[in-house]
Structure formats: C-alpha cells, structure tokens
Amino acid sequence: MVLDPAANPQIATPLLDALRVEVQSPTVPFYTPGHKRGRGTSDRITELFGRQIFQSDLPDLPGLSLFAPDGAIAKAQNLAAEAFGADRTWFLVNGSTCGVMAAIVATCAPGDKIILPRNIHQSAIAGLIVSGAHPVFVVPEYDPVLDLTHNVAPETIAEALEQHADAKAVMIVSPTYQGVCGDIAAIARQVHNYGIPLLVDEAHGAHFAFHPALPTAALAAGADLAIQSTHKTLSAMTQASMLHLKGSRIDPGRVSKALQLLQSSSPSNLLLASLDAARQQMATQGKALLERTIRLADEARSRIEQIPGLSVLQPKPTRTLGFYALDPTRLTVTVSGLGIDGFTADEIFYEQLGVTAELPTLQHLTFIITLGNTAEDGDRLVDAFKHLSEECRSKGTGKIEEQSFQKFAPPPNSMPVLSPRAAFFSPTETVPIAQAVGRISAETICPYPPGIPILLPGEAITEDAIASLQKIVDAGGFVSGCADASLQTLRVISQ
C-alpha cells in the first residue's frame, strides 16, 4: 500500500482531517448542536458512547457545508467519485432512501413516465409521490420454487420501452436483498437506445467495484446513476450512503437541487466523515479485505450446504435473464426443509443462539457477510444451523410442503389506476379487509425489511395481495405502512 498522498491521492481523508482540526480548535461554540461538543450531554449517554464522539458532532462550519461543497467535502466527494468509477459523487446523510428519491426527482417531472420493477424499494414509491411521475411497473423474474423475486430481464425492459417510448427514465434494483444481480449492461443498451438514463438502486452493492470476483458494478456496466448504501456492505456509519453519476444523460445540477430538497439541512459530519474513511479504506485495502470476506462466505456456504435439511442459494450454472450474477458475500439459506418457516428460525437464532440474520422470509434466512465479520462469526453461524437442524429433526418436524406457503408472484406489467401522487392526496376511507378487494389502495404496505411493497397507493387491491400480507403476519413477520397493524382494515381511496 502506497502511503504517500502525492503518489496515491486515495490515501488522503480530507473530510476526516478537517473534522479533526475543528475538534482540536479552541473556539468557544455558540452554535448548534446544543450539547456544545459533548459538554452538555446526558451522563447516561456518555456512559455508553463516551464523550469524544460528541466532540466530533459538529454542524456545517466553514468548509464543511454539504450543500455548497468546497474544501474538504468537495475533495472527499471527488476522491469517492474516482474510487467508485463515477464522474461525480454526492454524499448522502439520509440513506439510500434519499438517493433513490432524488434520482427520480432529478429525471422525471410531474406526469412523466418511469419504468421500474414491481419489487422496487418503498423509497422509489416516495420518489414517485414527490415527483408526480407515473410508474410503469414491469415483472421481474420470479422463482416459484424458492419463492424469490430476482431481476428484470433486458427484453422485458425492451418491451416496456416499445410500449412506452415516451418514458423519461428506467430504474432497476440490482443486487436484490439476496444478492442477485441483473444483466445491467444489456439493460443499459436497451435504455440508451431511447436516449434516456438508467438508474440503479445498488444499495447492497457498494463493494462491487473493489474485487474482480464480485459482480460488475452498475456504473461499470453502463448505468448512468447508482445509489449505494455505503453503510450496508462497507464500513460507513448507519444512514451514510452515496449517489454516483456517470455520463451526460442526467444534469448534475438537477441532482444537486433534488438533494437540497430531500436531504436534512443539518447533515451529520459524523456520517460524512465515515463516508470519507470508508472510501479511503476500500481504495487502499479493498481487494485484500474483500478477498478475506469472500473466502469466509464461501467456507460458510460450503459447510451449511452439508447440514441436513438446508440448502443455500447458489449462482446459476447457466445465467438466466433475471439472475445474471450472485454476490458471493450474501448467504440465503432455505430452512423450509427443516419443517419451519424463516420467521421461526430467525426467532430461534436471535433469542436462543445469539445469531442475527439480516432478513427472514417465509422460506429463507439471508445473511450479509462483510469485512467486519470474522472466522469466529462464521463458526457461530454454522454451529447455529447445525443446532437448528438437529433440533428440528429430533422433533420430527419434517419438510414443509411447498404448497403450504402462500406465495406472492409479481403481478403482470401494469400502470396503477391512479399515480402514487394522486392517490396520496385523494380522500380516503377505512374498510374491512374483506371488502377491500377491487378497491384502490391508499397505503404503501410492505414487509420490512426488505421494504418491497405488496400494496401501493393507486393500485387495485387483489385477493393474492391480501392473502400474502396475512400469511406474513400469521408467520410472525412485520408489515409496515398500514394504519391498522392488525390488518383487519385497509385505507382505500373513497369512491
């Protein structure tokens, strides 16, 4: 590793260094936040966090303004753009949620069409409501055996573009929560044939650019804009993310305006500095760190595959259109062969075995392996699955038949009856859930995580959607967005 910033600019951490200078400054603070560099914090919280972190909790002092970036912030964002393969990068303190919304606002005006998959994150629905854009939903590839939704095929995008040639942008999700990636290069070619940009919700793929064994990063595959949760798979603090732009199809000025609209006007310098540090770490050590991470995940995958009743999601021997690549650092384990659902397995793991999954679903548990995990973590994970398998087999639970799962395959390509914005501002009423079929939803209702809506504002409510929601609740899952958490009633557009 080259330690001379003149020879390797990526070794520098300009924002982190500027924050350190401010912390050491003897200036008397007559500015926010009110704890005044930690001197006014509650003893209860300093017992847990210490006082030093509050000394770095500073506002946008001269040279540290996120919305008029110059000096340290400008340098840090420029270094991030270089490291991640972008022409320009913006730091985000409101998570990838803010980045996804900004991407839509920056490319779509009220009434414009945008093509996006039905398994889009709920942040995109918020972006549709804010922008007033009209969604054209397309069907991603669906695996009915595993009950997993993957990515959109390039020809599905091509068909949607042919039918809606006036669309202003296309947005896809790659990778999915399970680490499944689409053929971004082929999709980008289809989208660019119409002269419009491809936006990629790459929240779970911030690490892709730093190791050749990982799937190709969205920008390298031809995307115009990518949003990444730097905190999810790298070492930034929770809520710290980045938005990357490449090429000339999107006006960077519109991106900046959208972010000024959507980001907090009091951005945390702790989050911003963590982005600077995470970038420096990956630019200088990323390949070695990810080599160890991939090896750890591969070892866990191989060992779990040997445990009776379990199977692990593997790369396809032959690439399918919606399953083009798989992130090897993501483990999705099917537990239904043990006779239990994923929510029950997750509860046992958390409460009895001291292991916490990223995402439980009806049939699976998904785990994120990152540079912060250790070999001991891998052993704990494997041991937990051994214990689970032995416990279930000793009780004779047997395999859950596939038919016992209520599945929710994505609906056909469609446009909602009302735009999400129109539905959001329409008069509504509450009806018993049995009377909601055929009505127009006024709510965004989804299991969280992963935050993929089953019902959207402006969309007709179907029997399949209600059955899927009720099955998730019955199995112990958490459903967000509904006014009635018991799902006895739903909010619908007034007739």
The residue ranges of every structural domain in the chain are 294-404, 420-493
At residue 479, does pLDDT exceed 90?
A: no
Q: What is the mean pLDDT of residues 119-141?
A: 92
- Please check whether residue 360 is in contact with residue 477, taking contact to mean a CB–CB distance below 8 angstroms: yes
* Confidence label for 448 from pLDDT (cuts 50, 70 and 90): low
Instruction: Say if pTM beats, i.e. exceeds, 0.85.
Output: yes
Average pLDDT, the chain: 91
- pLDDT tens digit sequence for 275-323: 999 999 999 999 999 999 999 999 999 999 999 999 999 987 767 778 9
Model confidence at 401, in pLDDT bands (50, 70, 90)? low
Is the predicted pLDDT of residue 405 greater than 50, yes or no?
no
- Fold exhibited by the domain 294-404: Aspartate Aminotransferase, domain 1 (3.90.1150)
On the CB side of 282, CA atoms within 13 Å amount to: 29
Residue bearing tokens 């991603």: 140
Instruction: Note the CATH number of domain 420-493.
Output: 3.90.100.10
pLDDT for the residue numbered 397: 63
CA 22 to chain centre: 33
Confidence of residue 472 (pLDDT cuts 50, 70, 90): confident
pLDDT tens-digit readout, 217-227: 999 999 999 99
Residue 478 is predicted with a pLDDT of 73
